[in-house]
Homo-oligomer: A and B are copies of this chain.
């Protein structure tokens, strides 16, 4: 039986193949050591993924799960307008499941292949983590550390009245993919179908790392967040932190093609797109005068980009409303709550 130390040794070896400018010491001591620089700020985020709550091993593909574990945290650094640089990963590994056998390494080989492939794509170095067994399901806690020039981080609190509201990509693909998986569809990596791309959007989202970094460096975005809880909820976060309101344009919200696979109704499609979550697109607000520059930036990143609404003053009405044929109605769709009953 391979020991915990041997398992860690193997991850350490894989992580050590990468060097990074500000890395002084990676995995293998009591803490990692990272160089600081004057005029720069550290960004740090953590995301927890729990089996049967945030993913199911039933339909997860190990190398996609490794990818997703890193992707969710990269997305947070992108949403701050920063550059992700380092990661840490904590694993609670079930003793009582086929994947807990660390000697039969197929699962973990594939998992780390997915994790390190995405890390490599964005120049991320794994610098630490921890491992424990668990009597429950697999849990992955993913931390990413990045940086930005001092004062350049894009917060949720920076939206201003009159700002345009923008979003990268299209919404609802992840929620549609999840619906298909729950209905019994499964991954087929060889098949290029709308259903498979919806499933891929859910299980293997692509974080908008480059767009986020450029939006931050350029200073074009006043506020930004990644669409993880769902557009409705995430726009509400921006409105609350910025003390503003927003009006979404029903017809302008870009709905992913995949949504058609689960509903033909326009209202239901809209609900899925704004309520679904886990699209990991970037939602931002910016001065309308900078709109063209933002469209150019998105095009440089080969991302669809759309203006979907306007930031307005708070007026006692629901902070997020949606205009559809002249009417502006409260957008009451709630995001995902882990303890909802």
Contacts and interface: CB of A to CB of B under 8 A. Distances in A.
Contacts of A90: 46, 48, 90, 141
Contacts of A20: none
Interface string A307-341: 00000000000000000000000000000011111
A29 B92 contact: no
A105 interface: no
| Copies of the chain in the assembly | 2
Nearest to A36: B36
Contact of A80 (B29, B76, B146): B29
Interface stretch (A49-57, A270-278, A292-300): A49-57
Given A50-B133, A53-B134, A143-B143, A80 B3 contact: no
A5 B47 CA distance: 15
A27 to B, nearest CB: 11
Contact of A132 (B36, B100, B338): B338
A40 B48 contact: no
A83 B28 CA distance: 19
B38 A36 contact: yes
Interface in A22-81: 24-25, 28-54, 76-77, 79-80
Contacts of A38: 36-38
A34 B41 CA distance: 5
A153 interface: yes
A1 interface: yes
Contacts of A208: none
A31 B338 contact: no
Contacts of A35: 41-42, 150
Contacts of A94: 136
Nearest to A2: B339
A36 B82 CA distance: 14
B128 A339 contact: no
Interface string A174-188: 000000000000000
Given A4-B338, A38-B37, A132 B48 contact: yes
A50 B132 contact: yes
A287 B25 CA distance: 23
The 9 closest A-B pairs by CB, nearest first: A136-B136, A36-B36, A38-B38, A31-B45, A30-B79, A30-B76, A31-B43, A34-B42, A48-B130
Interface of A: 1-5, 7, 24-25, 28-54, 76-77, 79-80, 82, 86, 88, 90-95, 100, 102, 127-137, 139, 141, 143, 145-147, 150, 153, 155-157, 224-226, 241, 337-341
20 contacts: A4-B339, A7-B339, A29-B80, A31-B43, A32-B44, A33-B80, A34-B44, A36-B36, A36-B150, A42-B42, A44-B128, A46-B128, A46-B143, A50-B92, A50-B133, A50-B135, A51-B135, A53-B135, A93-B339, A102-B339
Given A33-B43, A90-B141, A92-B136, 4 more contacts: A4-B337, A30-B226, A46-B129, A92-B139
